[in-house]
Amino acid sequence: MTAPASTCPQTDALDRRPRPDRGGGRCKVRLEGTHAIRASREQIWAALNDPDVLARCIPGVRDVRRDGPDSYRAALELAVGPVRGVYQGKVKLTDLAPPETMTLTVEAKAPVGIVKAVGQVRLEFRGEDDTLVHW
């Protein structure tokens, strides 16, 4: 899913640095979906709190390391149009209600820009070892 062109950073044909457009230079993208997983909510909750699993779940993440309780350092490789970079930042887990919901907040910087994202995860019980993950 892509954001409307009027809200995304644009680049000059010769200068590949992003420049803000008249809409404030922010590029907003909304991603959402569901996945059915044959595991209990408790098993999925534990997996989402494991840095190795978290790294595989967040698109573009190269590395995740625990930085404190419910906080991680991460390296993310992202691209918006022709602008690509490796961002260094933090992932924080907040609004924790085990094993039902959590909010993931990502803030990262690179020479090409800044990325801020917030995602909510909800684990819906559908039966023993049957969970629907909403993201």
pTM of the model: 0.71
Q: Average pLDDT of 50-73? A: 88
- Read off the pLDDT of residues 11-29 as tens digits, 9 standing for 90 and up: 333 444 444 444 455 667 7
Q: Is the pLDDT of residue 60 over 80?
A: yes
Of the chain, the percentage scoring pLDDT greater than 90 comes to: 53
CB-neighbour burial class of residue 94 (10 A; exposed 0-12, middle 13-18, buried 19+): exposed
Is residue 103 within 8 A of residue 91, CB to CB? The reply is no
Q: Walk me through the domains of the chain, giving residue ranges and CATH numbers.
A: 31-134 (3.30.530.20)
pLDDT at 34: 95
* Residue carrying structure tokens 């803030």: 107
Q: Is the pLDDT of residue 99 over 80?
A: yes
pLDDT at 25: 56
Q: Which residues contact 39 (CB under 8 A, 6 or more apart)?
A: 47, 129, 131
- Of 124, 67, 80, 125, nearest to 134 (Cα)? 124
